[in-house]
Amino acid sequence: RDISFTIHRGEFVVVTGPVGSGKSTLLRCLVGLVPQTEREGEVRWNGELVEDRAAFFVPPNAAFLSQVPQLISDSVADNVGLGPVSDEALAAALDLAAITDDIAGMPDGVATLIGPRGLRLSGGQRQRLATARALVHAPELVVLDDLSSALDVETEIELWRNLADAGMTVLAVSHRAVAFERADQVISLAPR
């Protein structure tokens, strides 16, 4: 309730606050994952009102990555692309998501099967692989819900630096100081 903010192209905006303050709900409302009857207010894109958020906030306009990313029991490449993507787009997404070295160490590289729900991967690898999926189609806005919860600090720094250097516009939930230091804007939600 009672929140208003603007994100400019290329900015990194962090949403933070205590558990239950509405961080995930805010992101889900923004991208249209909460039914229209449950949300109020408006979202504007370049000044134009977005009437159907769920239809609008998809690639190439936006990509959303939830707290618990869903992976499929298939190859690394198929998990990222969810369909055909060029080798160049796949490599760029893996680089941006800071997982290229991990994939290079796997027996079959991008053809490696990751098992049901990514069970052959660590929590951080699952998050970064899902991040690559969000980035592979070069969305204008990347919305990340607590992406770094399973990442070590060095990997998180690399990931945020990669997104910033790529000029990505990012809206992310985080509680970590490394994200606050990188942020152009921090939105702090109060407990409900």
Q: pLDDT tens for residues 80-129?
A: 998 889 999 999 999 999 999 999 999 999 999 988 877 788 888 999 99
Asked if residues 10 and 165 have their Cβ atoms less than 8 Å apart, the reply is no
Read off φ and ψ for residue 56, nearest 5 degrees: -85, -40
> Per residue in 41-77, pLDDT tens?
889 999 999 989 999 999 889 999 988 888 988 999 9
Assess whether pLDDT exceeds 70 at residue 38.
no
Residue-level pLDDT at 37: 61
Task: Find residue 44's DSSP bridge partners.
Answer: 49
Distance between CA atoms of residues 177 and 79, nearest Å: 30
Element (H, E) at 164: helix 153-165
pLDDT for position 39: 55
